[in-house]
A and B are shown apart, each in its own frame.
Chain A
């Protein structure tokens, strides 16, 4: 059986990953490696298209688990990476061929107040 953690996620996160901190109400602040998935995004309302960004980041669930954090605890947490701080508004699990517990979570982010 292919070990996707060793053969896929380890090399990908070692190349594309950036250091981050995740501050949750329950587990305090932890160090984490995330992949910045902030991308341009447009919203069309009433025929008017507004350009902005959809901030997001991927993280590995085993890394969260090693720090004692469940995915559900991440909602509302502050995630800081690449010089910006965001609030996690949703955290859908992405799954992996070896099971969701060994896969990734996609943090959907929103601008932190202030």
Chain B
């Protein structure tokens, strides 16, 4: 059994937990406390294919290309929270795009296959609590071949 989507998410959690100074790393935990900050949360994202327009005679179980877009949120509280988020964003992007396991074993990018990993962008949000609170939500795109016979 090979479930690339789950493999990507599981690996992402391991990768983001290595960002320096991160105190807690979760998957899909939408309710955290200030004592857990800085925190990083991997959110299972949406995925889509182009198969809606494929009306050919291709058998239903043939492989298809999936574009999977998980989201990662980094949250912190500090006087200079903006600078902290910038540093953690930099580390996040580097770690995801350069991760050998994601590139070589799971998504199979470059000469290893027709997969791809892309950083799509991020949004930020700030507000006052005990000190300045900030969060950054980053999106990545993982393109991979889904093989129904392997699921």
Chain A contact residues, CB within 8 Å of chain B? 41, 43, 45-55, 89, 108, 110-111, 113
Contacts and interface: CB of A to CB of B under 8 A. Distances in A.
A53 to B, nearest CB: 5
Contacts of B12: none
A83 B8 CA distance: 47
Interface residues of B, number: 27
A51 B73 contact: no
A54 B131 CA distance: 8
Interface in B114-151: 123, 125, 127-135, 137
B73 A43 contact: no
A111 B125 contact: no
A108 to B, nearest CB: 7
Given A45-B73, A46-B137, A52 B125 contact: no
Contact of A43 (B39, B71, B79, B127): B127
Given A110-B128, A110-B131, A50 B75 contact: yes
A48 B30 contact: yes
13 contacts: A43-B133, A46-B135, A46-B137, A47-B30, A48-B30, A50-B37, A50-B129, A51-B32, A51-B33, A52-B130, A53-B34, A111-B130, A113-B79
